[in-house]
Amino acid sequence: MHTKTSSHDVERRLTNFLPSDALEDHADAVGVVERDRKLQIPPLVWSFAFGFAGGASRTLASFRRSYNSTADKTLSPGGFFQRLTPTLAAYLRDLTLFQRSSTDSET
């Protein structure tokens, strides 16, 4: 029998699979994070995954709004957009490849 999964269960599973510390450590390793740490990596990843990549309105402005609604420190449009770099794209690609390889090994 299949039971309905709550949003809390989904959040718990995802944060266990990709914990905030692991997201931040990998961001440091690939050079995504700046010294001032205004960009918060976990909210960025979750905003990208749920608030942008799968949404109907996929604009950079909606991505920024999604990020600002979940992060402790909001970023201005210019501050946010200047962080959308090839390094950030490589970081997100790495996370996708890691997720795919982890999922493939489970089957």
pLDDT tens digits for 53-81?
665 667 888 889 989 998 998 999 999 99
What SS3 state is found at 95?
Answer: helix
Q: Is the pLDDT of residue 33 over 70?
A: yes
> What's the pLDDT at 104?
57
Is residue 15 within 8 Å of 48, Cβ to Cβ? no
- 98 versus 21: the higher-pLDDT residue is 21
Q: Calculate the average pLDDT of the chain.
A: 81
How far is residue 36's CA from residue 44's CA, in Å, rounded to a whole number?
Answer: 16
H-helix or E-strand spanning residue 8: helix 7-17
Mean pLDDT of 33-37: 70
